[in-house]
Amino acid sequence: MYARQYSELYETYLDSKSAWDESWRNSAFSAEYLLSLTADELRGLKGELNELVERWRERSSAAREAGDVEGRENVAVHMNGFPFRTA
């Protein structure tokens, strides 16, 4: 998925947020963190985040395969980690 598609998907959610019940509105999140890392530290962070998301993906797949579909929705989780410099 490209950055523009990420943005459009999130904007669509924001535009329709009121249509989701309170439990979904209270569970959805958006977060931004600015860190000062080395390239190796960023690589480590990437690995840890990927492992975490993969555990949730496996949990979700197992639940669906077991027929546990009540209340489940597609959920987008977008992560970016990249260096930048300020002037």
* Chain segment 10-29, per-residue pLDDT in tens: 999 999 999 999 999 999 99
Domain that holds residue 49: 36-65
| pLDDT surpassing 70 at residue 1 | no
Query: 25 in a domain, yes or no?
Result: no
Query: 42 in a domain, yes or no?
Result: yes
* Chain segment 48-74, per-residue pLDDT in tens: 999 999 999 999 999 999 999 999 999
| pLDDT surpassing 90 at residue 2 | no
Q: Which amino acid is at 41?
A: E
Structural contact between residues 49 and 8, judged by C-beta atoms closer than 8 angstroms: no
Confidence (pTM): 0.85
Query: 26 in a domain, yes or no?
Result: no
Query: 41 in a domain, yes or no?
Result: yes
Q: pLDDT at position 28, please? A: 97
77: left (phi over 0), alpha (psi -120 to 50) or beta: beta
Query: 1 in a domain, yes or no?
Result: no
Query: 40 in a domain, yes or no?
Result: yes
Query: 59 in a domain, yes or no?
Result: yes
Q: Which amino acid is at 73?
A: E
- Give the number of other Cβ atoms within 10 Å of residue 63's Cβ: 13
Provide the number of structural domains found in the chain: 1
